[in-house]
C-alpha cells in the first residue's frame, strides 16, 4: 500500500479558487493548501492533473497518473471529490487510449448537464418542488405525453427508466476498464447522496438509477 494514503497534508484548509496562477509553483502551493488535512495521495493526484494540463514533463506525468489509478483506483475513487474525479476523467478523455477516451467522455457530459441543471436551480426565483405538479404530471402521463421540445417528452417521475437504462448500459460497457468503472460509479453515488436532480427524483422513483 502506498504510504501517502495515510499521510495528511499539513496546514489549515482553504477555499478552492478558480484562478489559474501563471507561475506553476505558486499555483501548486495554493492547490496544496486546498488539500490540508486530506490524504497526501489525493493531493499528488491533483498535482499530476495540473502538471498534465500545463504539459510540464507530460510523458513522465502521464505515466505516473495512469500508474497511480491502476494501483489505487479504489482509494482514489473514495477519497477524491467529484471535482477531481471529473478532472481525472477529463485526463482520460484527452490522453487515454481511444477506448478509454470514448468511455470516459459520456460521464463528463453527464456531470456537465447535471451542473447546468443545478446551476439553473440556484438562480430560479422558486426552486421548490411542487407535489401537486408532480402528481398532475403523473396523472397526465397515464393518458398521454407531456412534450418538452422537438418531440422529446417529459420523464415519468414515478416510474421512468430512461436514466436507469443509461446507467446499466454504461456501467456494462465500462467493465473492461476497471479504473473508469470505479470513477463513474463513484460520481453517480455522490450525485445520489447530495442534493441534486438525481436524489430529488429518486424520492419519487426509488428505481431511478438501479433496479
pLDDT in tens, 135-171: 777 776 666 777 888 888 888 887 888 899 999 999 9
Q: What angle do CA 6, 96, 77 make, to 5 degrees?
A: 30
pLDDT of residue 62: 98
Q: Let me know whether 73 and 126 are in one domain.
A: no
Q: What angle do CA 178, 16, 64 make, to 5 degrees?
A: 35
The reported pTM is 0.87
Query: Which of 46, 80, 114 is a domain's end point?
Result: 80
Confidence of residue 128 (pLDDT cuts 50, 70, 90): confident
Q: Let me know whether 135 and 76 are in one domain.
A: no
Tell me the β-bridge partners of 147: 153
Q: Let me know whether 102 and 134 are in one domain.
A: yes
Confidence of residue 93 (pLDDT cuts 50, 70, 90): very high
pLDDT of residue 130: 77
Q: Let me know whether 137 and 185 are in one domain.
A: yes
Q: Let me know whether 20 and 105 are in one domain.
A: no
Q: Let me know whether 76 and 122 are in one domain.
A: no
Q: What angle do CA 186, 192, 196 make, to 5 degrees?
A: 120
Q: Let me know whether 116 and 159 are in one domain.
A: yes
Lowest mean pLDDT among 14-23, 130-139, 146-155: 14-23
Could you give the C-alpha distances from 130 to 118, 127, 136, 137, in angstroms and in order? 17, 9, 10, 11
- Tell me if 91 is assigned to some domain: no
Number of domains within the chain: 2
Q: Let me know whether 106 and 139 are in one domain.
A: yes
Query: Which of 80, 114, 134 is a domain's end point?
Result: 80
Q: Which residue range is the domain that position 68 belongs to?
A: 1-80
Percent of the chain with pLDDT over 90: 55
Q: Let me know whether 39 and 127 are in one domain.
A: no
Query: Which of 80, 108, 137 is a domain's end point?
Result: 80
| Cβ-contact 40, 7 below 8 angstroms | yes
- Secondary-structure breakdown of the chain: helix, strand, coil percentages, each rounded to the nearest 5: 65, 5, 30
Beta strands in the chain (DSSP E): 147-149, 152-153
Q: Let me know whether 71 and 126 are in one domain.
A: no
Q: Let me know whether 205 and 114 are in one domain.
A: yes
188: region left, alpha or beta (phi > 0 left; psi from -120 to 50 alpha): alpha
Q: Let me know whether 151 and 176 are in one domain.
A: yes
- Mean pLDDT, the chain, rounded, equals 88
pLDDT of residue 7: 84
Cα(158)–Cα(25) distance, integer angstroms: 51
Percent of the chain with pLDDT over 70: 93
Cα(59)–Cα(49) distance, integer angstroms: 12
Amino acid at each position: 500500500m502506498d504510504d501517502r494514503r495515510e499521510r495528511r497534508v499539513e496546514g489549515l484548509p482553504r477555499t478552492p479558487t478558480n484562478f489559474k496562477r501563471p507561475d506553476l509553483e505558486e499555483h501548486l502551493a495554493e492547490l496544496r493548501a486546498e488539500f490540508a488535512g486530506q490524504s497526501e495521495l489525493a493531493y499528488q493526484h491533483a498535482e499530476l492533473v495540473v502538471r498534465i494540463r500545463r504539459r510540464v514533463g507530460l510523458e513522465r506525468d502521464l505515466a505516473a497518473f495512469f500508474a497511480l489509478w491502476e494501483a489505487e483506483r479504489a482509494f482514489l475513487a473514495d477519497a477524491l471529490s467529484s471535482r477531481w474525479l471529473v478532472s481525472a476523467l477529463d485526463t482520460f478523455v484527452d490522453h487515454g487510449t481511444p477506448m478509454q477516451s470514448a468511455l470516459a467522455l459520456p460521464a463528463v457530459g453527464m456531470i456537465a448537464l447535471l451542473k447546468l441543471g443545478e446551476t439553473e436551480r440556484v438562480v430560479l426565483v422558486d426552486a421548490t418542488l411542487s407535489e401537486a405538479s408532480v402528481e398532475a404530471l403523473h396523472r397526465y402521463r397515464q393518458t398521454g405525453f407531456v412534450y418538452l421540445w422537438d418531440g422529446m417528452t417529459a420523464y415519468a417521475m414515478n416510474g421512468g427508466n430512461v436514466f436507469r437504462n443509461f446507467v446499466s448500459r454504461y456501467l456494462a460497457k465500462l467493465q473492461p476498464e476497471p479504473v473508469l468503472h470505479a470513477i463513474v460509479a463513484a460520481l453517480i453515488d455522490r450525485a445520489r447522496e447530495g442534493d441534486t436532480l438525481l436524489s430529488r427524483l429518486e424520492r419519487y422513483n426509488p428505481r431511478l438509477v438501479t433496479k
